[in-house]
Structure 1
Amino acid sequence: MRRRVGGADLAAVPEVRHALREMLEHWRERDSAEVAELLISELVTNALVHTETGAVVTATVADSRLRVEVRDFVAALPPPPLPGRPVPDDATHGRGLALVRSLADDWGIRSRPVGKVVWFELNGAAA
């Protein structure tokens, strides 16, 4: 799956989540697919809210592993999620990367010549 989403177009978040759901329709690991929908929503929202430049979202399944990448076009890296530091219950920001860190099997951030890529991977069984 590959999608380009426009800057500050938060309507794109459910569209990307729906496209991922369709892509993973035959993935045997339903719990992982639901986690993937949550995490892709967080990363796309972060890219749209914090960069206003849009993003390119890709998702691939290979060897029973899902990899999702969200590339934006702003070089500034997000602050890393701090382990053991809770986000206040009434906070409206700050949970996205913490969720990725705690739920993904692997994740990271790569700088690009223009922008960055935030990615995560989940293990599962491909149909």
Structure 2
Amino acid sequence: MSSGDAGDPAHRRVERLLRWRPHHGADPSVAAAGRAWVRQALRELLTHPPGAEFEGDVELMLSELLTNAVRHGGGVDEVLLRLAGTSLRIVVRDSEPGLPAPADRVHTGEDHGWGMWLIQAFATRWGVQRHVADGKSVWLELPVG
């Protein structure tokens, strides 16, 4: 094996995955349940306690994805947290194929519709994966802090 080989322990990316399937994914209370779940999940995933700011950012991002899934996606089917190296990926799957879009905050005075705008602002990357059978997964990545 060469020193740059993926089998070399010094070059392996640490990857951990946690999954949550809420019992009542279409209920608006899923956002609060998701925030409670993610606080515990971060302690299981990370090798060190999460900082308050990082934990708050993760809770906010997950809450926005969950709320969007309830409002526009028919409810939450599944949530995944994946730690890979220094990046945390949050994935929320729902059953509707419609794509999310950030609202134009300049032209609206609404007090809702900030979710995807916040995700664009906080996440290092985000995207949508459509599923052949049904629905989509909306994901985002945050640097682990």
Q: Where on the TM-score scale, by shorter chain, does this alignment land: which range?
A: 0.7 to 0.9
Give 3-state SS (helix, strand or coil) of 2:21's partner: strand
Whether the aligned pair in 2 keeps the contact of 1:27 and 1:33 (CA below 8 Å) is: no
How does 1:19-98 map onto structure 2 within 5 Å? 19-25=37-43, 26-78=48-100, 80-81=101-102, 85=106, 87-88=108-109, 91-98=110-117
Aligned residues: 122
Which residue of 90, 112, 124 corresponds with 1:105? Answer: 124
Q: What whole-Å deviation, never above 9, does each CA across 1:7-55 have from its counterpart, x for those lacking one?
A: 4211221111111111223444442221110010010011012132432
State how far apart, in whole Å, the 1-side matches of 2:95 and 2:53 are. 31
**Is the alpha carbon distance of 1:67 and 1:86 closer, same or farther for their aligned partners in structure 2, counting shifts above 3 Å?**
farther
Whether the aligned pair in 2 keeps the contact of 1:56 and 1:72 (CA below 8 Å) is: yes
With normalisation by structure 1, the TM-score equals: 0.82
Q: Which has the larger radius of gyration?
A: 2
Once the two structures are TM-superposed, the CA of residue 77 in structure 1 deviates from its matched residue by: 1.3
With normalisation by structure 2, the TM-score equals: 0.73
**Is the alpha carbon distance of 1:124 and 1:9 closer, same or farther for their aligned partners in structure 2, counting shifts above 3 Å?**
same
Q: Percent identity?
A: 34
Q: Which amino acid aligns with 1:123?
A: P
Q: Which amino acid aligns with 2:36?
A: H
In structure 2, stretches of 5+ residues that fail to align are 1-17
State how far apart, in whole Å, the 1-side matches of 2:129 and 2:79 are. 14
In structure 1, stretches of 5+ residues that fail to align are none
Q: Which amino acid aligns with 1:99?
A: L
State how far apart, in whole Å, the 1-side matches of 2:51 and 2:120 are. 19
The aligned residue for residue 115 of structure 1 is 135
